Each structure stands twice: as C-alpha cells, then as structure tokens.
Amino acid sequence: MSKRSPFAILRTTRPTAHPRDQSHRCQVRLVKVRSGVAAGRTTRHPTHTEWWTLFRSREQFETCAADDALRFRDPLLFTQIKAQLDDVFDR
C-alpha cells in the first residue's frame, strides 16, 4: 500500500483529556473521500480501538455531535471539526 494518499487529510486532532486520564484520549482523523468525509477515531486506552464512519452531510455530523456527549463535549474540538466539515461541504 502506498503511503501517499490522493485524498486530503483534513484534520488530525488529539483532544485534551486530563493527562492522567487516558481512558478518554482519542485521536480523530477526518479524510475527504468521494461520498463525504470519513471520520476515524483511534483510542489506545484501555483498549486499542479504531473505527471509521462516513459523514455524508453536515446534518449527520451535527446529529452525532449533539448525541455524543463523551467526545464532543469538548467545545474546542467540536468547533474545530465543525469548521473543517463546513469547509468541505460548502466547497
């Protein structure tokens, strides 16, 4: 597999959990694909999980953000990701 991707990596962000609280640490990646924006989350503690979803519209993201208290309660992260998605869907 090539390491160079023709798809833009929109954002890679590391939310700031408490330094000693690794349970909520996760990395969020947003990648533009043909049919929308793929969002990948990777957590390393306590288990290593990686899962990907596809946002096909801004509304889908806002629905998830409203429902996902665990991750998007961080207002800075939410604003950053929303700005990136707005940029893609308004382009």
Partner 1 sequence: MSSIDEAASICRHDVGQDALYPARALSLILQLQGAEGPPQLLDTLVSATEAIGAAASLYSVAIPDTEGKPFSFSLFACDPAFAHRQQQRGALPDHPWFRFARTHSSPGTDRTVQVEGPADQEALALAQQYGFTSCLIVPTAAGPDLHRVEMLCLGSRRHAAFEGEDARIVRALARSLAAELHDWVTRHLSASLQEAAQLQQIDITLLHLEWQGLGTKAISARTGLSPSAVDTRFQRLNYRLECPNRKASARRAAEHGLLESRD
Q: How far is the CB of 38 from partner 1 (least distance, A)?
A: 4
List the one residue out of 20, 16, 36 whose CA is nearest residue 84. Answer: 36
The reply to whether 52 sits near partner 1 by the rule CB under 8 A is: yes
As to burial, measured by CB atoms within 10 angstroms (0-12 exposed, 13-18 middle, 19+ buried), residue 61 is buried
List the one residue out of 29, 28, 25 whose CA is nearest residue 46. Answer: 25
The reply to whether 7 sits near partner 1 by the rule CB under 8 A is: yes
Count of residues making up the chain: 91
Please pick, from the candidates 18, 20, 48, 91, the single residue that binds partner 1 as defined by CB under 8 A.
48
The reply to whether 2 sits near partner 1 by the rule CB under 8 A is: yes
Amino acid residing at 83: A
The reply to whether 60 sits near partner 1 by the rule CB under 8 A is: yes
Q: For binding to partner 1 (CB under 8 A), which residues are involved? A: 1-2, 5-7, 29, 31, 33-36, 38-40, 47-55, 60-61, 63-64, 67-68, 70
